[in-house]
């Protein structure tokens, strides 16, 4: 299969639109057509190198060069093909990307700590989580898919653990935002911040993450949610959503 994708060839370079080749899915994998993708600051961190481990750290983890890299870990799309053994989705299903793959069955997943699942251990590494080999190639060279999903590509071969089925009537552009920005902001309040009923919460910066931290804090039961931002319309929106 052929696809067009935004490829980063190294740090401090620009994204380039390239034609890539995608191998058929192996057992437990599927082909997804990404319909919507968000641009997260983590993608910019790949450009600046802030999220790129030093070569010695990559080598210690058994990971080779991660470039070239197809960006994007925030997205939503439609399943077009499934490999043997895939049971959670079928062709035509709408799915959200999951930038931290999880099995849904281990002791971490069963207690709401999917971020600790072993399936996500190599999310920023090179090959697939199925067997460590590559499915995507540019000019015959293996290409890494960011967070194993590479939503900056029209199509991608991903593991079943890297997608989450969603209702067909949900707008895919909204699902794409939930796949990272919403979950990160919400989780900062409800998980990392462990907001409890009656708490007072201050959210500094009402951007894409902060506005969801406001909502998470309010729905977790905070009695007061204080939103701080120099931009008036952001403060007003925060007031509408729980501040």
The phi and psi torsions of 208 (rounded to 5 degrees) equal -60, -30
Selection from 217, 153, 130, 219 nearest residue 227 by Cα: 217
User: Would you say 20 and 70 are in contact if contact means Cβ atoms under 8 Å apart?
Assistant: yes
Catalogue the E-assigned strands of 54-162: 69-70, 74-82, 94-97, 136-138, 141-142, 144-145, 155-159
Catalytic hit among 109, 117, 157, 180: 180
Cα→Cα distances 24→10, 158, 207, Å = 27, 10, 39
Catalytic hit among 41, 45, 110, 223: 45
Active site residue 73: yes
Spatial distance between the Cα atoms of 171 and 176, rounded to a whole number of angstroms: 9
Spatial distance between the Cα atoms of 88 and 156, rounded to a whole number of angstroms: 17
Active site residue 134: no
Catalytic hit among 42, 128, 162, 179: 42
Catalytic hit among 40, 109, 117, 157: 40
Active site residue 223: no
Catalytic hit among 73, 109, 117, 153: 73
The phi and psi torsions of 119 (rounded to 5 degrees) equal -60, -25
Among all residues, which ones are annotated catalytic? 40, 42, 45, 73, 180
């Amino acid at each position: 299969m052929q696809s067009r994708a935004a490829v980063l060839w190294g740090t401090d370079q620009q994204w380039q639109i390239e034609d890539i080749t995608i191998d058929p899915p192996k057992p437990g994998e599927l082909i997804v057509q990404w319909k919507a993708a968000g641009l997260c600051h983590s993608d910019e961190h790949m450009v600046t190198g802030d999220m790129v481990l030093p070569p010695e750290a990559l080598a210690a983890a058994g990971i080779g060069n991660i470039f070239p890299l197809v960006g994007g870990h925030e997205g939503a799309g439609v399943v077009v093909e499934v490999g043997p053994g895939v049971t959670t989705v079928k062709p035509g299903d709408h799915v959200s990307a999951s930038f931290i793959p999880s099995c849904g069955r281990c002791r971490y997943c069963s207690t709401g700590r999917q971020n600790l699942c072993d399936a996500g251990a190599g999310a920023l590494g090179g090959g697939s989580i199925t067997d460590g080999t590559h499915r995507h190639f540019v000019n015959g060279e293996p290409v890494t898919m960011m967070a194993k999903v590479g939503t900056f590509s029209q199509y991608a071969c991903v593991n079943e653990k890297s997608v989450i089925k969603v209702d067909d009537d949900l707008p895919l552009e909204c699902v794409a935002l939930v796949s990272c920005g919403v979950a990160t902001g919400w989780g900062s309040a409800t998980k990392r911040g462990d907001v409890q009923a009656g708490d007072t919460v201050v959210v500094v910066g009402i951007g894409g993450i902060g506005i969801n931290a406001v909502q998470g804090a309010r729905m977790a039961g905070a009695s007061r949610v204080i939103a701080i931002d120099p931009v008036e319309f952001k403060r007003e929106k925060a007031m509408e959503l729980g501040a």
